[in-house]
Amino acid sequence: MKSIIFIRHGKSSWDYDVADKDRPLKERGITDANNIGVALAKMDLPIDFAFSSPANRALHTAMIVLHTMQANLNDFKVVKNLYDFAGEEVLSFVKSLDNKLETVLLFGHNHAFTHLVNTLGNSNIDNLPTAGMAIITFDVEKWTDLTKGRTEKLIFPKELR
């Protein structure tokens, strides 16, 4: 059994004249990331590894969530393929994961995450909101065999405010 926890980055700011990768989180993005971290910690899921896009807003969201969960940062890596807005690179990355990993946590971007949640899961959502989380499980032993899975949980930040 394999599981993916998708977490879209928190609400980011457009107030600064910086490259897209460098956009920071807004205060609401920080609060929402913390709330998602608390919700995820309460679920007490065994997460084998976490991966984040190198974009500032995704990486900052990852750090907040992982800190809130008291996760081991030795089990965390920044991956350039997660800075993807279509989903193909994210899916390719997931299918290349070590099969020893059962549950992975991914921090990234839309439209890639909404597309993958809809494509891989059995629920359909209009949009994975900023700091939104989707957990999908797959009845496979190898990441390369990933097909349609089961959407186990959707948590949107507005539900936690």
Q: Is residue 16 part of a domain?
A: yes
* Residue whose structure tokens are 């700091």: 131
Rounded CA separation 67/22 (Å): 21
What is the average pLDDT value for the chain, to the nearest integer? 97
pLDDT, mean of residues 96-118: 98
Is 90 exceeded by the pLDDT of residue 37? yes
- Which pLDDT score is estimated for 143? 98
| pLDDT greater than 90 at residue 161 | no
Looking at the domain assignment, is residue 40 inside a domain? yes
**159 lies in some domain:** no
What's the pLDDT at 4?
98
* Residue 36 placed within a domain: yes
In a domain, 151, yes or no: no
3 state SS of 137: strand
Q: Where are the alpha helices (DSSP H) in the chain?
A: 27-43, 56-69, 88-95, 112-120
Residue 5 in domain: no
pTM above 0.85, yes or no: yes
Q: How many distinct structural domains can be found in the chain?
A: 1
Would residue 42 count as lying in a domain? yes
Please compute the mean of the pLDDT values over residues 84-89 and round it to a whole number. Answer: 96
Provide the residue range defining the domain that includes 44.
11-48+55-87
